[in-house]
Structure 1
Amino acid sequence: TNSMRSMAAPATEIMPKSPHFVANGILRNKSFAPLPKTFWENQRHKKAFWNQLQLVVDHQFNSILQPQKAKRSMKNSSFDDFLLKKSFSAVRSFDNVMYNVEELPERVQDFTRYMQRRDYPVLLQPGGECGAQGKDEQEPPLLLFAIKTTPDNFNNRQAIRQTWDNGGAYVRRVFLLGKQNTKEPGVDVSELLKLESNFYGDILQWDFEDTFFNLTLKDVLFWSWFSHSCKQTHFVFKGDDDIFVNTPKLITYLQIQMEKPHVKKNIEHLKVLYPTQLLQGLYPAYAGGGGLVYSGQLTRRLHLISKRVHLFPIDDVYVGMCMVRLNAFPMHNHAFLMFDFPKNEGKDPCSYHTILVMHKRSPNQVSSLILIMQIPMTIDQQPLTKTH
């Protein structure tokens, strides 16, 4: 579900009541006085691997512990890379932490071994500047669709190309993917992917295995690519390849957002669980679901701050970890449907004109939704965007 305001008047942004979610393993005791919200913590969660790694990095930018180093610019990436590697050396000397890592599931252990690497080369990249459709355009786009996909999901990509992202002056498109996972059975599609890239010019592929725990790498590497290749873009839509987007309505909505002031209200936060040997404490507020929108400026800032935040295996949570360090928080919009309409609302064709994004849709369903959206409606049938 995601990050934007409703188009219906009055416009409303829905903010989380807390900038954090509660992770498994945190100590709860009402007799303790509440702690102030701090950017760093000195002695907490001594056995959690990620916490200890991040603690080493955060200490270097704490204005009390390191007043001189804290003033360094985020653009000093070599300094940040050195710190990330230094933190691994430091934490591996903690016997209690490494003992807990050995108790993690095998896939998570694999992640802890490879999480310090981020320098994967690009294998395929878009033919035009800033994604497909950008080759002959002079002006920067309003919106870039950055869609996470896998090498063998051609049908999903093709459905997107032929339906809700089939071109336009305001829009660019790029598909984000790694290499085919060698541990999963299937036909090698690497040569087919090269042909697809040559024909459509919208593939951005890196030299890492495309697995669930590597989804965070797609965010980090995309932010870097964006900051160098299309930093003038106004908005980025990051989504999965099984979604439907009402592109004309989304473009109208984004144009309105560039002019309107923000009004905020609170919503309750949700719980997410993960092994306590890897992370304990508070998760940041984050946007979960099939798609979210953030500005091009925030994308560039996420690229810089990510140099100081260790990778985490859940991509949406990692984005939240980076955003909280920028003092930025996600906003929910009811027109972003994580799954489906409530009750029987989806039986009314008019309902589909009220949404911006729908998640968990097959290629056939996406094609059907486009046909529904093309049904002409009378003036008295025109619905507002969903607000609840």
Structure 2
Amino acid sequence: MLMTKLQNLPTVVLFCSIFLFLLFAKNKWESLETLFSPHNLKVKGGPDFAYKSAIGFEWECAIERTKETKPSGLISPPPPVAKRHPLEVVYSTEYNFLLNEPKKCWERSPFLILLVITEPQNFATRQAIRQTWGNESSVPGVSILHLFLTGVHPKFGYLLQALLEEESSIHRDIIQQDFLDTYNNLTLKTLMGMEWISKFCPNATYVVKADSDIFLNVNYMVSHLLQPHLPPKKNYMTGYIYWKTKPVREKAYKWYVPREVYPNETYPPYCAGPGYVFSGDLAKKIYQVAKTIKVINMEDVFMGICLHELGISVTNSPSGLFKTFHAKYEKCKLSKVVVVHPLVVPEKLLQIWPGFRDQNQTCKS
């Protein structure tokens, strides 16, 4: 009922409600931290590692999380790995689904699945996407399914879980496993999506992996790139392709990848992470090969590594369809691209969408 009431509130009120909730949660947490600090408990160590790390990438926190600590009951303990570097992602088939939609494909085989990467607390972002480019009825005659992929918030996991479950019960579009939702674990989110398709929707024709801060032109992508009237592509992945890029070896950057995690001097070709498209048959192949190789903390690069291991090449897309730089909103320019990153925040997306979909405003071809 809480999420139902929140949906009926204006956007500004919704943001204020969520802000106040998180502020209250933060204060409660800080009081608990004081109560259960190492000084008060007089024990060596500190609070549960699931709640020590801040949102995003921090090298020191990554190191701290490798120390022996008692894992949270909401999170599966990672399997033991001898002499593991703190930035080496632990990929385990033992992660459990906390939220799942296993029946989504029982009565249909979607032409397109949108796997949207999101953080647990981003309620407003998910709602904006549902009302705009994530709308499953946006392309007439084409079966589209959207799913939001998320993990467990590093600090407010328990407090946010009830809200997530309420949101899930309303929209039935959230997939969650019990790993920490951090920048370093983005690879786990995408692999969770590959696992979900492999197990619950293996007949999907195409899949898009999308970040939640992109502008996705689903209609143009379907009509000009995927073309439902043609035979489905196999072993296909396309997007904005990076060639012969080198790992970042400086610790100051969030893209830092140490030699212990990835020793080679260059990466295989890969599609930029904000948004890329692949054929449904690749999901199971990537999910299976990921179990056999070392997982790295760069999600999009790791997809390229998986393709390299499989002997599959990325496919060039028509020039300009995938843009990885900020662009000012102009309807006619955006009408002929697939992905723009980043473009808008949720409020702006809701404002521009009606005009973007307005059929009365035509553009010169």
User: Do residues 292 (structure 1) and 276 (structure 2) align?
Assistant: yes
- The amino acid of 1:255's aligned partner reads Q
In structure 2, the residue matched to 1:222 is 193
Question: Aligned partners of 2:341, 2:227: CA distance in 1, in Å?
Answer: 23
User: Do residues 141 (structure 1) and 141 (structure 2) align?
Assistant: no
In structure 2, the residue matched to 1:255 is 227
Contact 1:127–1:201 (CA under 8 A) maintained in structure 2: no
TM-score scaled to structure 2, two decimals? 0.65
Matches within 5 A, 1:4-83: none
Question: Aligned partners of 2:338, 2:209: CA distance in 1, in Å?
Answer: 13
In structure 2, the residue matched to 1:194 is 165
Question: Aligned partners of 1:117, 1:186: CA distance in 2, in Å?
Answer: 20
Question: Aligned partners of 2:314, 2:229: CA distance in 1, in Å?
Answer: 15
Which of 137, 141, 149 does residue 176 from structure 1 map onto?
149
User: Do residues 232 (structure 1) and 195 (structure 2) align?
Assistant: no
In structure 2, the residue matched to 1:124 is 99
In structure 2, the residue matched to 1:159 is 128
Question: Aligned partners of 2:164, 2:274: CA distance in 1, in Å?
Answer: 24
Which of 334, 340, 343 does residue 326 from structure 2 map onto?
340
- The amino acid of 2:151's aligned partner reads G
In structure 1, the residue matched to 2:357 is 374
TM-score scaled to structure 1, two decimals? 0.61
Question: Aligned partners of 1:318, 1:347: CA distance in 2, in Å?
Answer: 31
In structure 1, the residue matched to 2:335 is 353
Residue 207 of structure 1 and its aligned partner are, at CA, apart by: 0.8
In structure 2, the residue matched to 1:23 is none
Contact 1:340–1:358 (CA under 8 A) maintained in structure 2: yes
Contact 1:145–1:172 (CA under 8 A) maintained in structure 2: yes
- Segments of structure 2 that go 5 or more residues without pairing to the other structure are 1-78, 249-256
Which of 288, 299, 307 does residue 323 from structure 1 map onto?
307
Question: Aligned partners of 2:242, 2:301: CA distance in 1, in Å?
Answer: 18
Residue 156 of structure 1 and its aligned partner are, at CA, apart by: 0.9
Question: Aligned partners of 2:124, 2:90: CA distance in 1, in Å?
Answer: 31
| CA-to-aligned-CA distance 1:86-130 (integer Å, 9 cap, x gap) | 9x55xx4xxxxx8xx5xxxxxxx2x44x61534110001127424
Contact 2:111–2:144 (CA under 8 A) maintained in structure 1: yes
Contact 2:243–2:270 (CA under 8 A) maintained in structure 1: no
Contact 1:309–1:321 (CA under 8 A) maintained in structure 2: no
Residue 327 of structure 1 and its aligned partner are, at CA, apart by: 1.7
In structure 1, the residue matched to 2:76 is none
Compared CA separation, residues 166 and 378, structure 1 to 2 (3 A): closer
- Superposed CA RMSD: 3.0
Aligned length: 265
Q: Choose between structure 1 and 2 for higher RCO, CA contacts under 8 A separated by at least 6 residues.
A: 1
Question: Aligned partners of 1:336, 1:174: CA distance in 2, in Å?
Answer: 21
Question: Aligned partners of 1:145, 1:268: CA distance in 2, in Å?
Answer: 25
